[in-house]
Every structure is written in structure tokens, then in C-alpha cells.
Amino acid sequence: MNGELTHRPKTAACYGSDLPDSAACDNAANESVARDDVVSTQASQLTMWRLRSQTLDWSRPYVMGIVNLTPDSFSDGGRVKGVDAALTRAEELLSQGADLIDLGGESTRPGADTLSVEEECLRVLPAIEAIVHTLGASVSVDTTKSEVARRALACGAEIVNDVSGGRFDPKMYEVVESGQGYYVCGHVRGESIEEVHKAVDPSENEVGDELLARLLSMPAWLRPRTMIDPCLGFGKGLQSNLSLLADSGKLSARLSAPVLIGASRKRFVGELCDLAIGDRDAASVGAALAAVRAGAHMLRVHNVKMTVEALRVFCAASTLGKGAHV
């Protein structure tokens, strides 16, 4: 790498934009990739996220590529070690079509080691700086610690992805607001990762109620800069995960916020198809397409290439299907 900005965010209206009929694709962007029988919050009702290198206007599904700097993550722990490896992996994901990079330094799997603030910062901050300054990418930091979030925002991250939704650290909202960041508010029950994975499986309505309470407890300035994540797999059983996935758009409409879905390689995907963790990418793409059809706005995935290719076909076919019924 030569230090130049190598990432140029996509400006196309949707993933099918390379088709000959670009006007049809632009029309789909202004509507929704979802069919008429699917509940979806229209892009015009949501606040755009104006990041440094791109604007997320919610007119198409966005893809967040995962870079884990953890030795003990459930899926790919130990595969990316150090700044150079993180930079190489981020560049690969961006070239495959990722819109953002989600960088994490602490595993949230059951039984994972808990890191101090300093340990987590040593893992993620140099990588954030390198990815932002070398690739010009939009970076999200995956953390539940407000001090890690504060330093990450100062290093160039623009989004804080907090699976705890502020439950683990009551200073999180204040830090994101003061750092003028954007926020992903996750849904979990419990005050630690161990408690989360032992929690009582919530109903779909309870997830919505609890996320609404968190939104209302935020500073007013932060609410329109917040995306919600029902956190599939975090203290939730198979049926709950499927219901939340299928009703992504309903959750968005109820809370007037974009929705992120992270089903990639999760246990419930493996349960449905009887697959080991390393064999779940194709099934994860199925979950991703179901989420987009339901009205999800962003997908957090490991296999960006497979997901983006599937989305390109899905959006193109949805566009034609929508036109055929007009």
C-alpha cells in the first residue's frame, strides 16, 4: 500500500446499478427493495448519516464488513493479528463491496476473556488509525466501553457499535454525543456478557419495548444518529432470532430508526442447517437476504463478497418484480 486513499465508497443507488436499465435501479432506490407485502420504513423518514467519505441515506442495504482483532472470537478469532493484517483484511473487504468496516478487539462469545480499557485500546486504536488514514474508509468500533469509544472516535472512527446498548457502561451515550459520533444501540439483557448469554429469552415485543426505553433515555441529539440492533444470538433462542429477523422492518417502523442485522455465522443459522461455524457463510447469506426483504438497513457480515454478490442479484430481481406489479 502506498499511503493513498484506495477506497472509494459506492455512489450507486443499489447493488443492481450495473444493469443496463439504470433508471429502473434508481427508481428502486427511491422506493425500497422490499415488496409491497413487507413492512419497511421509507428512507425519507430516517435521518441520513453524513460520514466523512459517504452519506448513508438508507435507500439501499449497506454492508458492514467484520474485522476481528480478537484471539478468541467465536468465528474467526486469531486470524487477524496486528495493524498490517487488519489493514490488509479491511482493504480486501472494501474491494469486495463493504461500505463500512466494523473493528472489534474484545470477543462477546460466552466465556470470552474480559479486557481492560488499555488492553482493548492497544488492539484497536492503531488499526483504526491505519484503516482511516490509509484507506479513507468509514470505521465502526465494536466496543461496550465508553473510554474505548472516546479514544476510537478521536482516532478516526465515526460509529460506535455497542451490543450492550449502554447497559454495560452508563457513560456511553454521553461519550458518543460529545465525540459527535453515530451509534449502534444493541439489545441485550444483563450487565455483563456472561449474564447476557444466561438471560431469559425475550419476546419480540419485549425487545422492541426495551430498545424504545433505551432510545428515550438517550440525549435528544443522539437519537436520530442511532441505529438499532436486536442482537441476534445474544441471549435469544432459535424462534426469537427468526422472528426478529423476519420483522426487522416492523422494528424500524416502530422505533423510527434504521436497523442493523448481524446473523452472520450465528449459532441459530448453524442449528437450522446443521453446520459447523466455518461452513455457515451460504446460510448466513440466506439470513441476510431475508433481513433485507423484511426491511433491514444494514448487514454486519464476515463474508462480504458472497453477501454483496447475492444482494446485487436480489436487488436487481426485486426491481424488476416491483416494476412488473406497477
Query: Residue ranges per domain, the chain?
Result: 39-307
Between the alpha carbon of residue 214 and those of residues 208, 217, 277, the distances in Å are 10, 5, 32
pLDDT of residue 193: 81
Distance between CA atoms of 298 and 132, rounded to whole angstroms?
20
Mind listing the pLDDT tens digit for each residue in 192-205?
887 887 888 999 99
pLDDT number for residue 35: 37
What are the beta bridge partners of residue 55? 50
Residue pair 175/221 in contact (Cβ under 8 Å)? The answer is no
pLDDT at 7: 52
Handedness of CA 90, 127, 281, 196 (dihedral sign): negative
- Whether 198 is a known active-site residue: answer no
What integer best gives the mean pLDDT of the chain? 85
CA trace torsion 317, 320, 322, 326 (10° rounding)? -170
| Active-site residue flag, 280 | no
Per the residue annotation, which of 123, 167, 266, 322 is the catalytic one? 266
Take residue 7 and report the three cell numbers written for it: 477506497
pTM attached to this predicted model? 0.85
pLDDT beneath 50, residues of the chain: 1-4, 8-9, 11-13, 16-41, 74, 77, 323-326
- 251-290 per-residue burial string, b: 16 or more CB within 10 A, e: under 16: bbbbbebbbbbbbbbbbbbbeeeebeeeebbebbbebbbb
* CATH superfamily of domain region 39-307: Dihydropteroate synthase-like (3.20.20.20)
* Amino acid code (one letter) for 95: S
Which residues are CB-contacts of 273 (< 8 A; sequence separation ≥ 6)?
A: 280, 283
Residue indicated by cell numbers 416491483: 322
Q: Which of 89, 123, 300, 322 is catalytic?
A: 300
pLDDT at 40: 45
pLDDT digits (tens, 9 = 90+) for 226-279: 999 999 999 899 999 999 999 999 999 999 999 999 999 988 999 999 999 889
